[in-house]
Amino acid sequence: MIVVTGGAGFIGSNFVRALSDRGERDLVVVDEFNHPAKLSNLAGIDVSEQLDKDEFIAPLRAGRQLAFKPRAIIHQGACSDTMELDEGYMMETNYAYSKTLFEYCLQQRVPFLYASSASVYGDGRVFRESPEFEKPLNIYARSKHLFDQHVRGYMPEATSQLVGFRYFNVYGPGEAHKGRMASVAHHFNQQIKREGKVRLFEGSDGFGDGEQRRDFVYVEDVVQVGLWFLDHPDKSGIFNVGTGRSQTFNDVANAVIAWHGRGKIEYIPFPAELRGRYQSFTEADIGALRDCGYRGDFRSVEDGIRDYLDVLRSRKS
């Protein structure tokens, strides 16, 4: 039995779908089932059980065992709102909850694969999995970084698999419920449908209009990384999950426009409140991932956006 926390959310539901497609039938989805779009993320997928996140963790917090022993826990549940200001809520959701699951997996020798974040690098220019390059700038990033540090302390002595995935800018099907925290690809697609144009920020930090660069990675490629580690339980560590090459926001906008066959770009003033707090450049160093043995390809923005929007169209047909 495989447990996927956050299994009705964006990346989690894509894990559940991929596992189901591989023939896994003993799947337990853990989440807050409080949004219709989350439920639609699981449409057509057979799972063994759906559990509320608090119901799932309650036995462990009471010092008891789960009613079953998982073959692995893929922990994707988190508060991913980088603008969240309630530090207590963020630390409970992203750190304390994760810590309880992690300690259970260590004790029971259950593989534990969890979502970290590239936000831990802050406004740095080196994106390598090493403490000297990590400087989180907001509560969300601090919660992820603190948990990474906790895991690192146990990594050398652990007798079961521990893997952290530092996701860069993930986009793809299943993200509609995220609202303002959904990817720019999602928002650009919605803007084209509503208004026939895409709005991008004017230049900042030495970059031209719309030329700020991020490492945009398609969710299906992210999931393939996770499944590879699931198939290689002898591999542990904290790894960047990105394409290894940055592309511009203009690239994303133009890929969406090309798919629709219509639209234009409008540049809007860069918000004053984001100056000094905005990542104008990210690019995953995936050397550690490659050294570990992962050889899978990562789609370009142009290929990933086409696949993304094709999937959205097919699911509505």
At 125-140, the pLDDT tens digits run 999 999 999 999 888 9
Residue 292 backbone phi and psi in degrees, to 5: -70, -20
pLDDT of residue 75: 97
Q: Which residues carry out catalysis?
A: 140, 178
Of the listed ranges 31-35, 43-47, 58-62, 196-200, the least confidently predicted one is: 31-35
Half-sphere exposure of 34 (CA within 13 A, CB side): 6
Give residue-wise pLDDT tens across range 220-251: 999 999 999 999 999 999 999 999 999 999 99
Provide, for the chain, the percentages of residues in helix, strand and coil under a 3-state DSSP scheme, each rounded to the nearest 5: 45, 20, 35
Does the pLDDT value for residue 96 go beyond 60?
yes
Which is nearest to 112 in space by CA: 57, 158, 46?
Answer: 158
Domain covering 2-172+216-244+283-299 in this structure, CATH number = 3.40.50.720
Kindly tell me the number of DSSP H helices and DSSP E strands found in the chain: 11, 13
Q: What is the mean pLDDT of the chain?
A: 94
d(CA 113, CA 261): 40
DSSP-assigned beta bridge partners for residue 73: 3, 112
- Checking if the pLDDT of 81 tops 80, the result is no
Closest CA to 131 of 160, 95, 92, 166: 166
Q: What is the mean pLDDT of residues 70-97?
A: 85
Query: Over 80: is that where the pLDDT of 88 sits?
Result: yes
3-class SS letters over 40-91: HHCCCCCCCEEEEHHHHHHHHHCCCCCCCCCCEEEECCCCCCCCCCCHHHHH
Per-residue pLDDT tens over the stretch 8-45: 999 999 999 999 999 998 999 999 987 777 888 998 89
Band (pLDDT 50/70/90 cuts) for residue 317 is low
3-state DSSP call for residue 213? strand
Domain ranges of the chain: 2-172+216-244+283-299
Torsion of CA 230, 283, 252, 115, to 10 degrees: 30
Q: pLDDT band for position 89 (50/70/90)?
A: confident
pLDDT digit string, tens, across residues 282-305: 999 999 999 999 999 999 999 999
